[in-house]
Structure 1
C-alpha cells in the first residue's frame, strides 16, 4: 500500500507542477494583460483532484489518520481553481486579477499541504 500511496503522491506533485508551472510561464503575459489559462493548468488541476481523492481513500484503507478538515479546505480551494480555469479556458485573454487569483490560490493550497499538520 505504501508504494501505491507514494506513486499517487508523485502524480499529485506532477499535477501541482503543471498548474503552478502554467501560471508561472504566463506571468509576463499577465503583466501585459494577455495571459490565458493553458490546457496544462486545467489538466494539472484535474490531476490534483483525482490523485488527492485517491490519496485520501488509500490512506484511510491503510489505517493512517486523515485530517478531514484540511482535506475539505484543500478540496474547496481546488474546486474554485478548477471552476475558474474550466470556465475561462477558451478565452483569449483572462483578467489579471482572475489569473492572479488562480496562482495565489494554488500557492495557498501548497502551503496548506506543507504547513498544516
Structure 2
C-alpha cells in the first residue's frame, strides 16, 4: 500500500507543479494586464483534487490517521481555485487581483500542506 500512496503523492505534487507553473508563466502577462488561465492550471487543479481524495482514502485504508480539519481546509481552498480557473478559463484577459488570488491561494495551499502538523 505504501508504494501506491507514494505514487499518488508524486502525482499530487505534479498537479501542484502544473497549477503553480501555469501561474508563474503568466506573471509577466499579469503585469501587462493580459494574464489568462492556461490549460495547465485547470489540469493541475483537477489532478490535485483527484489524487488528494485518493491519498486520503489510501491512508485511511492503510490504517493511518488523517487530520480531517487540515484536509477540509485544503479541499476548500482547492475548490475555490478550481472554481475560479474553471469559470474564467476562456477569458482572454483577467483582472490582476483575480489572477493574483489564484496564485496566492495556490501558495497558501502548499504552505498548509507543509507547515500544518
Aligned counterparts of 2:105 and 2:70: Cα–Cα separation in 1: 15
Aligned counterparts of 2:53 and 2:31: Cα–Cα separation in 1: 34
Cα offset, 1:94, TM superposition: 0.8
2:45 corresponds to: 45
Cα offset, 1:7, TM superposition: 0.1
Deviations 1:81-110 (A, max 9, x none): 000000000000111000000000000000
5 Å matches for 1:33-112?
33-112=33-112
TM-score in terms of structure 1 length: 1.00
Structure 1: any 5+ residue segments left out of the alignment? Answer: none
Count of matched residue pairs: 117
How much is the aligned-residue C-alpha RMSD, in angstroms?
0.3
Structure 1 stretches of 4+ with a deviation exceeding 6 A read: none
1:26 corresponds to: 26
